[in-house]
Structure 1
Amino acid sequence: MTAGRNFWIPEALLIAFLPFLISCMGNASGGLGKVEDTIPGWQTVSEKYHVTCLAYHRFGDDRYPSTNTPVEAFEEHLKYLSEEGFKSYTVSGLLTDTAALVKDHKKVLITVDDGYASFMKNGMPLLEKYKMKATLFVTTESVGWSDFLTWEELKELKDKGVEIGSHSHKHSYFVNLPKDKRAKAFEEDLLKAESLFEEHLAFIPKTYVYPYGEFTPDMIEILKKHDYIICFAQNSGVMSDGSNPYSVSRFPVAGAHVDMDQFKSKVNMLPLRTEPGDQIPVLVKANQPLKFSVTLLDEDISGPFNCFIAGQSANESVSKQGQKLSFDLTVPANRRRTLVTVTTRTARGKWHWFSRLLINLQVEE
């Protein structure tokens, strides 16, 4: 049964999401290989849950529009979350409070990547105003550079309750390295970041965001070896009990993705749960015919399904048989990261979302 060909999407929703779909590009992995099934303790809870995860970078810095969130837009976001009853957490704070994790209330993780100085200047005052918590993922090599936070500022933020997580030392394209050298180089970078966190902040974070959202199964094994409890990608989606703990999705809310209609849709989105192995990105080549399938975990979700490839509608590329969603597509040319996104609306009128990343190493950035 081919899914989604005759499914009508409200025009306003499609218009609101289209720029988000077009430019949302996120992570990468070494093919379709299976990752070992060892998982952090927070993933062992038996109840269903979902958490909205938001990814920010810069605040009020229009020199870099693709990663910037205007201050006015950020305040609108926080005001909406506050008025709608969302409870914010630091990442580790939520994961260590399993009662809160499964409690039936709206939960949000506000994550901020890279460690830009604009977070302290323009972001933190608004978080304090609306009593919202955040987790800041820091690239240690750039600490103290122009436009970046210093170690003293990071300590001050930590003392104010901001969680500090790791975003690597050098923010490198680790996936570009030969397979026989990648894991070693990634581990060396990870340990260098750990040593700097310990030296300057007297602790070693165990939450991680992949540089450029790109990663492979051998990188996941290094993170497991060093006891990381959660790792975030940059593809869109909703964290849930079905999430792979080493490939957790987040909705980007910078650049073209700050509009309030988009924002409201994202934070009220539900997960389209799949097997953890189905959430690992795929290494591809331009114009490559590609077939793969994902297994749906929620039996009450039957479609029809909308499919978008690099933001373009491609409903003919997805079909459903039983609990399997099968994809048959051609990889776009001249794109390093291509997001394959699936949405569906249930009979209850709720939207569900899943995305998987394709990464073409032949394209340099």
Structure 2
Amino acid sequence: MMKKILLGLLLLVVLAAAGAGVAWQLNGERWQQEYAAYRKTGAPVLMYHAVGNDEGADWPKTLIMKPELFEAHLRYLKEQGYTIVTVVELAERLQKGESVDKYVALSFDDGYKNNYSVVLPLLQKYDAKGSFFVINKDMGDETHMNEQEIKGLIDAGMELGSHTYSHGPLGKIPEKYLVWELDTSRYWLKKKFDGYIVRTLAYPNGSYNPTVIAAAKKYGFYRALTGHIGLNTAATYQAAPMEMYRVTVADDGNGLEGFKKRLEQAYFFGFLQTKGIDINVVRDIFVQ
């Protein structure tokens, strides 16, 4: 049964991609000009997890980024003229309608120890910032950052965000538990980190629905990151701050070229959405 579902998903993705390609060819030069202009109106949010050579992270190996490859990403972004910011810094610019041309926000999920020992020094080397989303129940264990390390990130000007209390898929858990996953998470982080106010949420596994959005707003979150690929513009953010786009960065074996492709996907998928083509819809069929 699962094999049939996966094959069906693959077929839908292929058909959607093929349709987008046909539409691009038919509209030719006009769309190319519009695309060039569109790229200047928004900014991607990149999603990382572990960055290191350790084997401790409980994610597929493709999501454990080698330090030298991560540094290559930072170097490339700087060489291309990007300003690398936190999610909250990007959100504030979008809310005000300020230019985000050549801006990119970095996000790191789960709070792995190497986010402090490896990621922070590299961010500082390239005058870059990032947002770190921690899971309350995992803090301080063998593979996740402890309080002192997280305080170090905050002191360095990084953003601390919530990845919920226990990393449950919010769109699938009973509504009565949302107060624990969301409100308790924010309260606990505020208490642990000298009154630090967390306002940004990253949905575990990209799972959410209207009930989850309503609860997140109720419990004090101003914005949230999804698993949907696209570009964050003033229009998309002001319309749906609880559904910010971001693209997963993985080590697909293609080195820096693989990273360039994923970065481009954020822009291209966002542009297709303005034309009524949203490949993310296929993902939602299987996630929710």
TM range (shorter): 0.7 to 0.9
Identity %: 26
SS in 2 for 1:359: helix
Closer/same/farther in 2, CA of residues 199 and 264 from structure 1, 3 Å limit: same
Matched, 1:77 2:76: no
Q: Give the partner amino acid of 1:194.
A: R
- Return the alpha-carbon distance in structure 1 between the equivalents of residues 170 and 53 of structure 2: 28
- Return the alpha-carbon distance in structure 1 between the equivalents of residues 161 and 257 of structure 2: 30
Of structures 1 and 2, the one with the larger relative CO (CA 8 A, separation 6+) is 1
Matched-pair contact (CA < 8 Å) for 2:166–2:181: yes
Closer/same/farther in 2, CA of residues 192 and 253 from structure 1, 3 Å limit: same
- Return the alpha-carbon distance in structure 1 between the equivalents of residues 21 and 83 of structure 2: 38
Aligned to 1:57: 49
Aligned to 2:200: 207
- Which among 161, 164, 168 is matched to residue 157 of structure 2? 161
Which structure 2 residue ranges, 5 or more long, are not aligned? 1-15, 26-39
Closer/same/farther in 2, CA of residues 112 and 224 from structure 1, 3 Å limit: same
Closer/same/farther in 2, CA of residues 6 and 69 from structure 1, 3 Å limit: closer
TM superposition score normalised by structure 1: 0.61
Q: Give the partner amino acid of 1:119.
A: N
The structure with the largest helix share of the pair is 2
Matched-pair contact (CA < 8 Å) for 2:44–2:245: no
- Return the alpha-carbon distance in structure 1 between the equivalents of residues 204 and 242 of structure 2: 13
Closer/same/farther in 2, CA of residues 54 and 5 from structure 1, 3 Å limit: closer
Aligned to 1:130: 126
- Which among 105, 112, 120 is matched to residue 109 of structure 1? 105
The structure with the largest strand share of the pair is 1
TM superposition score normalised by structure 2: 0.76
Q: Give the partner amino acid of 1:77.
A: H
Render the CA deviation track for 1:116-173: whole Å, top value 9, x for unaligned: 0011111111111111110101111111111110111111110011110111011113
Matched-pair contact (CA < 8 Å) for 2:206–2:226: yes
- Return the alpha-carbon distance in structure 2 between the equivalents of residues 145 and 77 of structure 1: 29
Alignment of 1:162-241 (within 5 A): 162-177=158-173, 182-201=174-193, 202-240=195-233, 241=235
Aligned to 1:4: 19
Render the CA deviation track for 1:221-255: whole Å, top value 9, x for unaligned: 00121232211012322222225322222111124
- Return the alpha-carbon distance in structure 1 between the equivalents of residues 102 and 215 of structure 2: 33
SS in 1 for 2:262: helix
Closer/same/farther in 2, CA of residues 148 and 193 from structure 1, 3 Å limit: same
Shift of 1:216: 1.5
- Return the alpha-carbon distance in structure 2 between the equivalents of residues 251 and 151 of structure 1: 28
Q: Give the partner amino acid of 2:262.
A: K
SS in 2 for 1:185: helix
Q: Give the partner amino acid of 2:126.
A: Y
